[in-house]
Amino acid sequence: MTATTGLTLAVCSAPGGGSYEARVIAPGSHAQITRGKGSNTRYVTDILPEGDPAHALLVVEVITPAGNTSSYPPHKHDTDDLPRESLLEETYYHRLKPPQGFALQRVYTDDRSLDEAMAVEDGDVTLVPRGYHPVATVHGYDLYYLNVMAGPTRTWKFHNAPEHEWLLKKGEPYPSTSLTFTTRPSLADFTAASARASAIRPSWPLGAAGRLPPRASMKAAISLA
């Protein structure tokens, strides 16, 4: 294969098997779909979904408009518990428009043994070996990311973070933390809301020094030819 113009080439790979012929997946092979609503809207295009022949890889690209969230509400796929959840490792390759921007991503587990929040810039890759992995864009900068997933069973079954699953219930408020202001809010208003939220938040185990356990860095640079 020969490139006739300048390009950025992403090589998506995983341990393989079986007999699969090389093939071209042309642009437009899969329609772009809109996922989410409001400030959680993003535009998703499958490249290699589970319905297409392959041994392990799942590949998809997502465009998240400025100021929106993505991979949200937080979900995970780190447990081999089919049909409820599949075990898939994942990477995010990030590009921003304009390129000097940044986005935010958090990778964390229920017990917070892994809990890493990071600013991602144009060309960064986030590694998701396990846990939840939501993304948020900032005003003025659209985000593109290329997702690559692979695991022992080639299917995408995820588990939503239970404390955020209420967001998926259309039109239902969350009375434990919802705030309605008729005047400018004060610090006391947010303190009261925090207290109400603490009543429903799990009590995470702390380290000996009263802090969460040490966190591993999850952001890696990538060189693409």
Mean pLDDT of the chain: 82
Whether residues 43 and 111 fall in one domain: yes
Question: What is the total count of domains within the chain?
Answer: 2
Residues 67-85 have pLDDT tens digits of 999 999 999 999 999 999 9
Alpha carbon distance 112, 204 (integer Å): 7
> What is the pLDDT at residue 86?
97
How large is the average pLDDT for residues 11-20?
88
Q: What H or E segment, with its residue span, contains residue 95? A: strand 89-97
Q: Residue 46's domain is classified under what CATH number?
A: 2.60.120.10
Name the pLDDT band for 210 (thresholds 50, 70, 90). Answer: very low
Whether residues 112 and 141 fall in one domain: yes
Whether residues 43 and 139 fall in one domain: yes
Contact present, 122 and 49 (Cβ < 8 Å):
no
Alpha carbon distance 104, 85 (integer Å): 26
Say yes or no to pLDDT of 155 above 90. Answer: yes
Whether residues 152 and 45 fall in one domain: yes
Report if residue 43 sits inside a domain.
yes
> What is the pLDDT at residue 2?
85
Say yes or no to pLDDT of 190 above 90. Answer: no
Higher pLDDT, 35 or 195: 35
Whether residues 130 and 88 fall in one domain: yes
Residues 85-99 have pLDDT tens digits of 999 999 999 999 999
> What is the pLDDT at residue 189?
53
Name the pLDDT band for 1 (thresholds 50, 70, 90). Answer: confident
Whether residues 194 and 113 fall in one domain: no
Whether residues 63 and 144 fall in one domain: yes
Report if residue 53 sits inside a domain.
yes
Contact present, 117 and 104 (Cβ < 8 Å):
yes
Say yes or no to pLDDT of 159 above 60. Answer: yes
Find the range with the poorest average confidence among 10-19, 120-129, 169-178: 169-178
Whether residues 77 and 101 fall in one domain: yes
> What is the pLDDT at residue 216?
38
Report if residue 59 sits inside a domain.
yes
Alpha carbon distance 191, 120 (integer Å): 30
Report if residue 60 sits inside a domain.
yes
Say yes or no to pLDDT of 163 above 70. Answer: yes
Report if residue 24 sits inside a domain.
no
Whether residues 73 and 141 fall in one domain: yes
Find the range with the poorest average confidence among 77-81, 99-103, 167-171: 167-171
Alpha carbon distance 11, 222 (integer Å): 11
Whether residues 101 and 176 fall in one domain: no
Report if residue 47 sits inside a domain.
yes
Whether residues 76 and 147 fall in one domain: yes
Domain that holds residue 48: 32-160
Q: How many CB atoms lie within 10 A of CB 200?
A: 10
